[in-house]
Amino acid sequence: MTDKTVSIDIRKDLFGANEAAASINADIFRKHGLKTFDIMGSVGTGKTLLIESLCIRLAGKYRILMVAGDLATTIDADRVASHGVDTVQINTGTACHLDARMVRYALREIDLGKYQLMFIENVGNLICPAGYPLGVDKKIVVLSITEGPYMVKKHPLTIKRSDMVVINKIDLADVLEFDVDALVNDVREVDAKLQVFKVSSKTGDGLDELIDALEL
Ligand code: MG
Ligand code: ZN
């Protein structure tokens, strides 16, 4: 029988390695003067349309790069590319989130000096992407009122780990009889200081306020 047991916290180890990789990314992004945002949220919350809408508004001001994380398809990257934005696809296969090393690997042959702004669309998943910093300026979680009223209550950790919350598809609030302010209050209960934006990527409602808050 051994008198020494070494226990390894695999989760801590994994997360620690990612944090280190994220800080290398942050240095690289900073060196290139790149503003960077990680857009997280479930499948169908409108992450891609939000990025498209922001790109359309900001294309005159910045050279933009979009990185699309997806299990298998290039649908999102193709949509954003249709607006003349350069895109990089990361197909994660079975991985349900992007991590910092995946992002760096995907960008290894890209001349980041050509760009001033980068949006990363994370894999559609409300849970683990928030736990993996990518080295970006802000992690933004996109919620959609079509997901029902309990997204914040059921995912407080994701909210806590985000720098900003976007409540999307507010144009549907009346039809769905959805109390958007109640969802805002749920966010405030998790973190009273977190910025929350009510947005419709479709109609453009709230986008100017969001762009101001992103200092873009
Ligand atoms: Mg998408
Ligand atoms: Zn995951």
In this prediction the pTM is 0.92
Interacting residues of 150 by C-beta distance below 8 A, sequence separation 6+: none
Q: What number of H helices and E strands is found in the chain?
A: 9, 7
Total number of domains constituting the chain: 1
* Residue 158 CA to ligand 2 centre (angstroms): 12
For residue 190, the enclosing domain spans: 3-213
- Find the CATH number of the domain harbouring 158: 3.40.50.300
Residue 70's Cα: distance from chain center in Å? 12
Give the span between the Cα atoms of 107 and 5, in whole angstroms: 41
For the stretch 44-86, pLDDT in tens is 999 999 999 999 999 999 999 999 999 889 999 999 999 999 9
* Residue 176 CA to ligand 2 centre (angstroms): 30
Q: Which residues surround ligand 2, an ion (CB under 5 A)?
A: 96-97, 128
30 SS3 class: helix
Confidence of residue 10 (pLDDT cuts 50, 70, 90): low
Is it the case that residue 123 has pLDDT exceeding 80? yes
Give the span between the Cα atoms of 163 and 143, in whole angstroms: 13
Give the span between the Cα atoms of 22 and 99, in whole angstroms: 8
Give the span between the Cα atoms of 64 and 4, in whole angstroms: 54
Q: Are 202 and 144 in contact (CB under 8 A)?
A: no
